[in-house]
Amino acid sequence: SEDPKTRKDALMEMAQLGIPLNFESRASASFVVLIRNKELKSFLPTLRKLEQRFNNRFHYPYLFLNDKPFSKEFMQKVAASTTSNVTFARIPSDHWSMPDFIDPDEALRARNKMKAAHVIYGGSLSYRHMCRFNSGFFYKHPLLQNVDWYWRVEPGVDFYCDIDYDPFHFMERNNKLYSFVVSLKEIEKTIPSLWEHTLEYMLENNITSDWMSYFATKDGDYNLCHFWSNFEIASLRWLRSDAYDSYFKYLDEAKGFFMERWGDAPVHSLAAGMLLERKQIHFFDDIGYRHEKFGRCPEITNADLERKCQCPKDLVNFDNFDYHKDSCLPQWKSLTSQEWSNRDS
């Protein structure tokens, strides 16, 4: 294992040997992991894989966030599994609680109704706190105030390809502010009024976007496409902007985080659709990734990808989520077809 302090030394050595280098410093960036103590076991293999595929060459720090205190065991085992800097922090309680404009009884009735309708996490209050936190609060954490970029990681996710360049630098250099690897359809019952509120917000604030229609059906409803936020590399400066934050406040006051079950993924996606230019969104096609039962790998079209990716056979053949009926990648590819054809030629 490598000592993070030696990275500079190693670069110096390489320079002295005449190996050409881009003498880049690390981006102002951090992994952000919202996690519970009981998820330690499923997180450790994720951490090992992320280090091996990427971070043992870059040593970006990790920030672990929890609404409860982290256990000694959690902190010790995580710290022992990486040479990178780790910080364990508690979430401020006002970032994880019901605002006073929500009637708790009414919210409980809404949860019970959704539970009876067998909506996944429909009856869960903690899941709603999590979605609201990821929508409007994590980027306000005091420990992220001087950080420009984050990479969100969840316990249990897997990475199938070596990432041998710095995606934060890539984003910075290419004027990207938000990125994804998987995009898919949201469960409609979790967001019955999110689209309506979003359109209302755009109208009230005279916001126009030349690609918001990407998220609309031909009848003008939400087509349910969103970027899956369990993997995200994005700009904290953007999330901290007044534009993003006032959209979040508007949604929060519309009560849908508690009276419905709005996910942070469609919230981030619709915010990107209305506030960012389409070209500021990046699809990391070269990142092989799995979260729970959905995984994807790039099509292995050249020797470089062949060397970098070790994809499970079923992902290569029939189970690649890119080709699943609920994947929105075909829509994304047709929206961005100009770029794809430029790249291929």
Q: Which of 51, 186, 232, 260 is catalytic?
A: 232
Instruction: Mark the segment that binds ligand GDP (CB under 6 A) among 34-42, 51-59, 102-110, 175-183.
Output: 34-42
Q: Which residue has the tokens 């890539």?
A: 170
Q: What is the DSSP letter of 222?
A: B
Residue (of 22, 40, 301, 281) closest to 166 by Cα position: 22
154 sits near Mn ion (criterion: CB under 5 A): yes
Check binding of 230 to ligand GDP (CB under 6 A): yes
Site for Mn ion in 313-332 (CB under 5 A): none
Near ligand GDP by CB under 6 A: residue from 11, 49, 57, 67: 67
Residue appearing with tokens 């902190």? 75
> Binding segment for ligand GDP among 32-40, 180-188, 254-262, 315-323 (CB under 6 A)?
32-40
Between 26 and 48, name the residue whose CB sits nearer to ligand GDP: 48
Of residues 197 and 291, the one with the C-beta less far from ligand GDP: 291
- The helix/strand/coil state of 218 is coil
Span near ligand GDP by CB under 6 A; candidates 29-37, 54-62, 253-261, 316-324: 29-37
- Identify whether the C-beta of residue 82 lies closer than 8 Å to the C-beta of residue 51: yes
Q: Does 264 bind Mn ion (CB under 5 A)?
A: no
Q: Which is nearer to Mn ion, 50 or 177 (CB)?
A: 50
Q: Let me know: does 267 contact 194? Beta carbons within 8 Å.
A: yes
Residue of 130, 271, 281, 311 interacting with ligand GDP (CB under 6 A): 130
In angstroms, give the least distance from the CB of 227 to ligand GDP. Answer: 14
Residue 232 designated active-site: yes
Tokens of 151: 């990479």
Count other Cβ atoms within 10 Å, centred on residue 324: 16
- Strands 29-34 and 149-152, how do they pair? parallel
| Closer by beta carbon to ligand GDP, 102 or else 335 | 102
**β pairing state of 281-283 and 178-180:** parallel
Number of residues that bind Mn ion (CB under 5 A): 1
**Residue whose entry in the numeric block shows the structure tokens 């490598």:** 2
- The type of residue at 86 is V
Tally helices (H) and strands (E) across the chain. 15, 12
| Secondary structure of 79-101 in HEC code, one letter for each residue | HHCCCCCEEEEECCHHHCCCCCC
User: Which among ligand GDP, Mn ion, none contacts residue 35 (Cβ within 5 to 8 A by kind)?
Assistant: ligand GDP
185 near ligand GDP, judged by CB under 6 A: no
Which residues have a catalytic role annotated?
A: 232
Residues that bind ligand GDP (CB under 6 A): 34-36, 39, 66-67, 126, 130, 154-155, 230
Residues that bind Mn ion (CB under 5 A): 154
